[in-house]
């Protein structure tokens, strides 16, 4: 047993349970940069560890009724084959691009995650002036089903190759495209990620990319961590949970940017800006919550 690995699993597990984000976005860079694990083993091991961890968290959120189950299955219809495709093509792409493949993908994902964090902060600060309100579930007409499948497929390919995206990118879609409430974002994200991660993890098992001892150490901390985080998420006020989502999205972007080799100036800027954005977001939502409830016309609430 390695206490440092177990504590890392506990920390990341709590973040995943609390916000739905942070698994591959934080754990894979952590394994490579801090524990000096080979990238291919870090990816495969993180996917297996994440699958077990998010299965526990997904079950907890399902019991708490914070999951849009139908939307999750439609996303899985695209993400599962996408993940398997990513794993199967990983070795071929590595031969042609080498390390540039991982760095290019990580740079693109890092930019998307950082943008999403700022977009979520802006949405919360500006309130309903940005458009339609948040909702508990998504009406699954033809267009929304197609969107769910396409979003799942895109994230699945990225996750299969890099282990990144099951939380950060799906959370972006759930917030900006499907406009779910923060509680439903977390629950739906974790539940869908469990399905997606098992597909990718099994594919990596067949490629011998899983370090079982390393995974066991991480799971010692992550399973109780995600249980604690999932239990706490349903009881947090929504402004605070939205602020937590912003912080974790920006933290995930910083971790990915570090691995992708971005300049220190960008990381320093985001690192300094994140606490201020989160505090401003929380205070603005708290101040505007009562007037919005009193003055909003019934037609807009519908």
Specify the pLDDT at position 87: 87
Q: Could you report the per-residue pLDDT of 147-197, keeping only the tens digit for each?
A: 999 999 998 988 887 787 777 678 778 877 888 887 788 889 889 989 999
Q: Does 183 map to a domain?
A: yes
Count how many domains the chain has: 1
In a domain, 273, yes or no: yes
Containing structural domain, residue 186: 3-291
Question: Residue written as tokens 């969107």?
Answer: 147
Q: Are 285 and 245 in contact (CB under 8 A)?
A: no
Higher per-residue pLDDT: 5 or 285: 5
Classify residue 300: in a domain, yes or no: no
Residue 295 binned pLDDT confidence (cut-offs 50, 70, 90): very low
The pLDDT of residue 108 is 63
Closest by alpha carbon to 159, among 150, 173, 169, 145?
169
100 within some domain: yes
Look at residue 298 and tell me if it is in a domain. Answer: no
Arithmetic mean of pLDDT over the chain: 76
What pLDDT does 298 receive?
40
Q: Model confidence over 71-89: pLDDT tens digits?
A: 999 999 999 999 999 888 7
Spacing of C-alpha 254 from chain mean position: 14
Residue 297 lies in a domain: no
User: Does 16 reside within a domain?
Assistant: yes
Note whether residue 79 is domain-resident. Answer: yes
pLDDT at position 149, please? 95
Poorest-pLDDT segment among 25-29, 48-52, 118-122, 148-152: 118-122
Helix axes 23-33, 39-63, angle to 10 degrees: 150
Res. 302 pLDDT band, cuts 50 70 90: very low
- pLDDT attached to residue 170: 83
Instruction: Write the pLDDT tens digit of every residue in 94-130.
Output: 777 776 776 766 676 677 667 767 766 765 565 444 4
Question: Is residue 294 predicted with pLDDT exceeding 50?
Answer: no
Q: How confident is the model at residue 274 (pLDDT cuts 50, 70, 90)?
A: low
- Tally Cβ neighbours within 10 Å of residue 181: 19
């Amino acid at each position: 047993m390695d206490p440092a690995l177990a504590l890392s699993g506990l920390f990341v597990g709590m973040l995943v349970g609390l916000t739905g984000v942070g698994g591959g976005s934080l754990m894979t860079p952590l394994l490579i940069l801090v524990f000096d694990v080979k990238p291919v083993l870090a990816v495969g091991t993180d996917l297996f560890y994440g699958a077990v961890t998010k299965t526990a968290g997904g079950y907890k959120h399902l019991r708490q009724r914070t999951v849009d189950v139908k939307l999750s299955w439609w996303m899985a219809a695209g993400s599962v084959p996408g993940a398997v495709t990513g794993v199967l093509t990983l070795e071929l792409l590595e031969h042609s691009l080498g390390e540039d493949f991982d760095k290019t993908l990580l740079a693109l994902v890092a930019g998307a995650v950082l943008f999403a964090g700022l977009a979520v902060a802006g949405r919360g600060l500006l309130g309903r002036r940005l458009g339609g309100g948040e909702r508990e579930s998504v009406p699954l007409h033809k267009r929304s089903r197609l969107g769910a499948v396409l979003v799942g497929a895109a994230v699945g390919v990225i996750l299969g190759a890099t282990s990144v995206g099951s939380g950060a990118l799906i959370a972006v879609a759930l917030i900006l495209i499907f406009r779910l409430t923060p509680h439903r974002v977390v629950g739906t994200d974790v539940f869908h990620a469990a399905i997606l991660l098992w597909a990718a993890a099994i594919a990596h098992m067949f490629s011998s990319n899983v370090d079982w001892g390393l995974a066991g150490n991480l799971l010692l901390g992550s399973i109780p961590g995600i249980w604690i985080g999932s239990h706490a998420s349903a009881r947090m006020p929504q402004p605070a949970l939205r602020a937590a989502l912003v912080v974790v999205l920006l933290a995930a972007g910083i971790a990915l940017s570090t691995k992708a080799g971005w300049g220190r100036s960008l990381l320093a800027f985001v690192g300094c800006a994140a606490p201020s954005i989160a505090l401003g977001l929380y205070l603005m939502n708290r101040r505007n919550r009562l007037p919005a409830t009193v003055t909003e016309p019934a037609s807009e609430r519908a």
